[in-house]
Amino acid sequence: MFQITLERLQTTACEPYDYLIVGAGFAGSVIAERLAAGAGKRVLLIDRRDHVGGNAYDHLDAAGVMVHRYGPHIFHTNAQRIVDYLSRFTQWRVYEHRVLAQVDGHLLPIPINLDTLNGLFGLSMNEAEAETFLAQRAEPVSMIRTSEDVVINQIGRELYEKFFQGYTRKQWGLDPSQLDKSVTARVPTRTNRDDRYFTDSLQMMPLHGYTALFERMLDQPGIEVLLGVDFTTVRERSRFRHVIFCGPIDEYFGFCLGRLPYRSLRFAHETLPQSQFQPVAVVNYPDPTVPYTRITEYKHLTGQVHPMTSISYEFPCAEGDPYYPIPRKANAELYQRYKALADATPGVTFLGRLGTYKYYNMDQVVGQALALYQRIEQATLAEEQVSVAAGK
Ligand code: FAD
Ligand code: UDP
């Protein structure tokens, strides 16, 4: 990976870059790699953080334990082509994510499954009995609009309050009734014993971590990486033909239509003098009196063998780095107004979780970046055909 400094950028007189890409997370890095390696373009990729990888960044902490600085990132997808693409830059470790929730003094599987129900209520139901049990508790909602509706409709109010309401209020600072149905719909309910968090056909972790994946992805002739520098600085001081912006779209436009709300997190990282802290990688705490939402123990994700272990607590908050777009109607409407502004602004394209204000997982962002590349490739081809036809 070829890094340059701001000084060098300012002092070297050279041709304009074909692309300035803002944000070295999955969105910016994938489109940078494709434009450089696939189309021979000259790309300047910047990030205001001092590392690549965006929120997927991982590193060895002071004790030598591999941790994810911005919370647990588990790769899962149903799209083989996305795994095929990323496999150019990494080998994989087989990993299926399992999560427990601390409820009423029990550690129970979440998503709720047969063992969750039996453990919580001291029962020994089979699958068919669990289905009847949930059907008796479910409160059918004719029009499912909110994150409360989704859950109540499936499992009723008691389980909703124990597993979803407190967690969601902490995570989003909003009641589930104020959030789009898509938020809690991410977490299914099961009556079998499947205790995997995700049911995607492909679930894995990059064998040597995400940062190593990014460094290989960006190690292409044609890509220069500039870290620790904000777009506003580079905007004035370098020349480029087109910008691909993977930061918050409202920030790009100076918040001229008002601020798009984001939810932030504070991570408290700790290293403990013991080899294991909890039985699985993530334990959720829906209890409203506990200030954090979940604890992650990273060694479960990475498979690292180490005499110590590192964990992180997540404390949701309103201020701080924009981690989550908040899915609700008013925000989607404001985003659409920014998108209309973006569509009418030549020379810039928006991409990624912040650039398109979408609660996307990593694989979706990779897919979005690959789709953008395909559009650019097709547009270039069409331009070339016009030039040939015109005899240029
Ligand atoms: P980001 O990774 O946010 O990258 C954007 C980059 O742009 C940042 O590095 C930022 O510093 C930079 N930037 C912004 N503005 C500017 C500017 N003005 N100038 C310079 N640089 C700028 N997904 C999964 O698939 N599985 C998971 O298990 C998972 N867990 C998650 C857990 C947490 C706590 C969070 C917050 C997200 C999780 N995700 C997970 C989602 C995943 O992080 C995102 O899908 C993915 O990282 C988005 O990539 P991106 O490039 O769009 O954005
Ligand atoms: N959720 C919950 N209880 C849980 C797990 C999830 O209420 O134990 C809700 C909560 O609103 C959360 C959403 O479901 O924000 C999506 O959960 P997911 O684990 O996908 O969130 P992420 O990993 O993106 O933070």
pLDDT in tens, 113-169: 999 999 999 999 999 999 999 999 999 999 999 999 999 999 999 999 999 999 999
Please give the pLDDT value at position 13: 66
Q: Which of 110, 168, 196, 296 to mutate to test the pocket of ligand 2 (most atoms within 8 A of CB)?
A: 168
Please give the pLDDT value at position 392: 63
DSSP-derived pairing of the beta strands 262-272 and 282-284: unpaired
State which ligand 2 atom lies nearest to the alpha carbon of 284: 8
Q: Which of 104, 170, 171, 197 to mutate to test the pocket of ligand 2 (most atoms within 8 A of CB)?
A: 171
Name the closest-CA residue to atom 15, ligand 1: 247
Output the CA–CA distances (angstroms, integers) from residue 130 to 99, 112, 115, 118, 127, in the order listed. Answer: 20, 11, 10, 9, 5
Nearest to 8 by CA among 223, 224, 216, 215: 224
Name the closest-CA residue to atom 27, ligand 1: 73
Name the closest-CA residue to atom 11, ligand 2: 168
Strand order in the sheet with 202-206: 75-77, 202-206, 92-94
- Contact between 36 and 221 under an 8 Å Cβ cutoff? The reply is yes
Q: 24 CA distance to ligand 1 centroid (A)? A: 9
Maximal CA-CA distance, the chain: 80
Q: Which of 107, 147, 148, 167 to mutate to test the pocket of ligand 2 (most atoms within 8 A of CB)?
A: 167
pLDDT in tens, 180-213: 999 999 999 999 999 999 999 999 999 999 999 9
pTM flag (> 0.95): yes
Q: Which two tokens stand for residue 139?
A: 């409160």
Q: Which two tokens stand for residue 141?
A: 């909602």
Please give the pLDDT value at position 350: 98
Q: Which two tokens stand for residue 45?
A: 């990729």
Q: C-alpha angle with apex 390: 384 to 392, nearest 5 degrees?
A: 70
Say which ligand is closest to the CA of 226.
1
Query: What contacts 326, CB < 8 A, 6 or more positions away?
Result: 172, 174, 179, 261, 262, 263
State which ligand 1 atom lies nearest to the alpha carbon of 234: 19
- Contact between 89 and 213 under an 8 Å Cβ cutoff? The reply is yes
Angle between helices 362-389 and 26-33 (to 10 degrees): 30
**What is the chain's pLDDT, residue by residue, as a tens digit (392 residues)?**
999 999 888 887 677 899 999 999 999 999 999 999 999 999 999 999 999 999 999 999 999 999 999 999 999 999 999 999 999 999 999 999 999 999 999 999 999 999 999 999 999 999 999 999 999 999 999 999 999 999 999 999 999 999 999 999 999 999 999 999 999 999 999 999 999 999 999 999 999 999 999 999 999 999 999 999 999 999 887 789 999 999 999 999 999 999 999 999 999 999 999 999 999 999 999 999 999 999 999 999 999 999 999 999 999 999 999 999 999 999 999 999 999 999 999 999 999 999 999 999 999 999 999 999 999 999 888 888 887 787 76
Cβ of residue 49 lying under 6 Å from some atom of ligand 1: yes
Q: Which of 240, 284, 362 to mutate to test the pocket of ligand 1 (most atoms within 8 A of CB)?
A: 362
Please give the pLDDT value at position 380: 84
Q: 103 CA distance to ligand 2 centroid (A)? A: 15
- Contact between 317 and 264 under an 8 Å Cβ cutoff? The reply is yes
Query: Which structural domains are found in the chain, ordered by start?
Result: 6-52+218-260+326-389 (3.40.50.720), 114-186 (no CATH)
- State the Cα–Cα distance between residues 188 and 151, nearest whole angstrom: 9
Pocket of ligand 2 (CB under 6 A): 101, 110, 163-164, 167-168, 171, 183-184, 186-187, 284, 286
Please give the pLDDT value at position 100: 98
- Contact between 174 and 168 under an 8 Å Cβ cutoff? The reply is yes
Q: Which of 174, 186, 198, 295 to mutate to test the pocket of ligand 2 (most atoms within 8 A of CB)?
A: 186
Cβ of residue 361 lying under 6 Å from some atom of ligand 1: yes
Name the closest-CA residue to atom 7, ligand 2: 164
Please give the pLDDT value at position 312: 98
State which ligand 1 atom lies nearest to the alpha carbon of 360: 45
Cβ of residue 27 lying under 6 Å from some atom of ligand 1: yes
